[in-house]
């Protein structure tokens, strides 16, 4: 969650903004939830210790590509899009000051320190702006391949390198490199791990980038940031997964209805919104495709549950054991089915996975022992609660 356009469409202090977020969320979730918060302004950086202590928010985020881009493409006015003071910039210097603010909070709030971390969406704004212009001027590429070319993989690698050096400079040890989508991004992340062994880097990929590519995804509904890539990058992600280089896999669930997703020209990828739903395909996709490739069920449980729960300060989550919450998903690993948006519980009317054949399926889901999903339907009452993290 962050201030600015596309979310609650307002700026200002998190002291005022975040209680409103919690109020709007309460009573609407079927699973337990927490929030990462993005410090967009100098005021937000000052509020980090307050957010940790008052609300148990221990994870913070930087969107590195917002320098000259909005969430879905070019932005003519950064201050208007982000709703930050006109004399402030959301740039590399701001990223450094965020890191210093997060590290200061770790030093002040020592009992929270192991679970306070900073996550980064690693793409370089200037590279993306220049390549978007090139792709549109040349006009030879269309669809998801055009969008991938407009946000090239070396943009990720450069951003990873910049973020890692800033972590070294600010001595912030807990860094999460989010939704890495390419071989260049992963190679840069592993290079930085070796360059700065005192930084505890965690590396994340999404189920979308593991299952779909620019050719196999169903239409420009597959527009997402970072973009879906070529098949070579998909295979590279799996190689790194099997080599143990990935710390967790996520859905990066960010969807909207059809009328909001697509522009006036439904075939123009640059007019479409970014993001799609992935939560319901995360576990079946990783169990089905992962086990075929040699990924063990134990490793899948670590990638989806144990590792992120430990990093993000969720002491009662992440495993099936005495003293932990009875959060259990039952998976049938021997069922074949085809993804159809029309069959989904989501109000999203499209999916980039349309027509994909799956070989595993979630049959039942329990949250703290309460059944919330069965027979393909969400059931019961929304019993999910906000989780204060870090202690």
The neighbour count for residue 21, using CB atoms within 10 Å, is: 19
The count of residues in the chain is 391
CA distance 223 to 197: 35
**Structure tokens that stand for 10 in this block:** 């307002």
CA distance 209 to 207: 6
Residue 223 half-sphere exposure toward CB, CA atoms < 13 A: 27
DSSP calls for 216-255: TS-GGGG--SSPP--HHHHHHHHHHHHTT---EEE-----
**Structure tokens that stand for 196 in this block:** 């700065």
Q: Look up 252 and say whether it is catalytic.
A: yes
Phi/psi of residue 200, each to 5°? -90, 85
**Contact predicate 195/156, CB 8 Å:** no
Categorise residue 375: left if φ over 0, alpha if ψ from -120 to 50, beta otherwise: left
**Structure tokens that stand for 289 in this block:** 């495709």
CA distance 354 to 204: 24
The H or E element that residue 330 is part of is strand 328-332
**Structure tokens that stand for 287 in this block:** 């169990």
- Of 252, 265, 327, 332, the catalytic one is 252
CA distance 179 to 120: 9
| Strand 370-374 with 361-367, pairing | antiparallel
Q: Give every CB contact of residue 154 below 8 A, 6+ residues apart in sequence.
A: 127, 184
Nearest by Cα to 64 from 177, 173, 172 = 177
Q: Give every CB contact of residue 375 below 8 A, 6+ residues apart in sequence.
A: 363
Catalytic residues: 252
């Amino acid at each position: 969650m962050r201030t600015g356009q596309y979310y609650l469409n307002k700026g200002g202090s998190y002291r005022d903004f975040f209680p409103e977020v919690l109020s709007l969320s309460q009573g609407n979730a079927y699973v337990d939830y927490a929030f990462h918060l993005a410090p967009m302004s100098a005021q937000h950086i000052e509020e980090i210790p307050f957010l940790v202590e008052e609300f148990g928010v221990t994870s913070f985020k930087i969107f590195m590509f917002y320098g000259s881009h909005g969430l879905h493409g070019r932005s003519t006015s950064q201050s208007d899009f982000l709703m930050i003071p006109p004399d402030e910039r959301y740039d590399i210097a701001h990223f450094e000051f965020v890191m210093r603010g997060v590290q200061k909070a770790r030093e002040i709030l020592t009992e929270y320190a192991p679970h306070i971390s900073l996550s980064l969406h690693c793409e370089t704004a200037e590279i993306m702006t220049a390549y978007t212009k090139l792709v549109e001027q040349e006009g030879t590429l269309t669809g998801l391949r055009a969008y991938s070319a407009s946000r090239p993989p070396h943009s990720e690698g450069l951003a990873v390198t910049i973020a890692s050096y800033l972590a070294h400079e600010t001595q912030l040890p807990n860094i999460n490199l989010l939704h890495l989508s390419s071989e260049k991004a992963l190679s840069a992340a592993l290079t930085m791990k070796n360059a700065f062994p005192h930084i505890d880097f965690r590396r994340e990929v999404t189920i979308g980038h593991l299952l779909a590519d620019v050719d196999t995804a169903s239409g420009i509904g597959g527009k997402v940031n970072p973009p879906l890539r070529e098949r070579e990058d998909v295979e590279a992600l799996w190689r790194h997964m099997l080599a143990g280089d990935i710390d967790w896999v996520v859905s990066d669930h960010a969807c909207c209805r059809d009328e909001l997703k697509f522009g006036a020209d439904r075939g123009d990828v640059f007019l479409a919104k970014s993001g799609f739903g992935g939560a319901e395909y995360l576990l079946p996709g990783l169990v089905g495709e992962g086990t075929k490739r040699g990924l063990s069920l134990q490793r899948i449980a670590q990638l989806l549950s144990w590792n992120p729960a430990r990093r993000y300060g969720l002491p009662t989550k992440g495993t099936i054991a005495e003293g932990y919450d009875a959060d259990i998903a039952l998976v049938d690993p021997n069922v074949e089915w085809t993804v159809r948006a029309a069959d989904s519980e989501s109000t999203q009317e499209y999916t980039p996975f349309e027509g994909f054949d799956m070989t595993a399926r979630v049959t039942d889901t329990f949250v703290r022992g309460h059944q919330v999903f069965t027979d393909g339907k969400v059931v019961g009452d929304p019993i999910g609660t906000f989780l204060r993290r870090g202690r």
